[in-house]
Amino acid sequence: QKEVEQNSGPLSVPEGAIASLNCTYSDRVSQSFFWYRQYSGKSPELIMSIYSNGDKEDGRFTAQLNKASQYVSLLIRDSQPSDSATYLCAVNKGTGRRALTFGSGTRLQVQP
């Protein structure tokens, strides 16, 4: 079992719709969770971080965390073609400056 699992996609949604990206992790001691966006040929860019159960909203993005189910999700409202990218889920097993374990990413395509 991979430590961080994501559906590779592609996930295709029409412009203006809500895109829902999901991630599960295997280690119950994980404490910090991150979503990165990576455009083709570019480096990963941090979108959201979440540390406690529930929802965290930032503009069109909402991260959701359920530690009991070991599940993290990212919702993108009013999806735009510019949101088309690969979204990487990352998990930190402890607090502080430890390495992140990344999922393989979900490719999102927003159709104009």
Using CA atoms, how far residue 39 sits from 29, 93, 97, 108, in Å, is 30, 26, 25, 10
**Number of other CB atoms surrounding residue 33 within 10 Å:** 26
Tokens of 8: 């590779």
**Distance of closest approach, residue 48 Cβ to another protein, in angstroms:** 10
DSSP at 27: -
Q: Which of 98, 111, 106, 99 is nearest to 36 (CA)?
A: 106
- Contacting another protein (CB under 8 A), which of 92, 106, 108, 110? 92
- Contacting another protein (CB under 8 A), which of 7, 20, 22, 32? 32
- Contacting another protein (CB under 8 A), which of 40, 82, 97, 112? 97
**Distance of closest approach, residue 84 Cβ to another protein, in angstroms:** 18
User: Near another protein by CB under 8 A, which window of 13-21, 52-60, 75-83, 88-96?
Assistant: 88-96
User: Near another protein by CB under 8 A, which window of 16-24, 43-51, 52-60, 67-75?
Assistant: 43-51
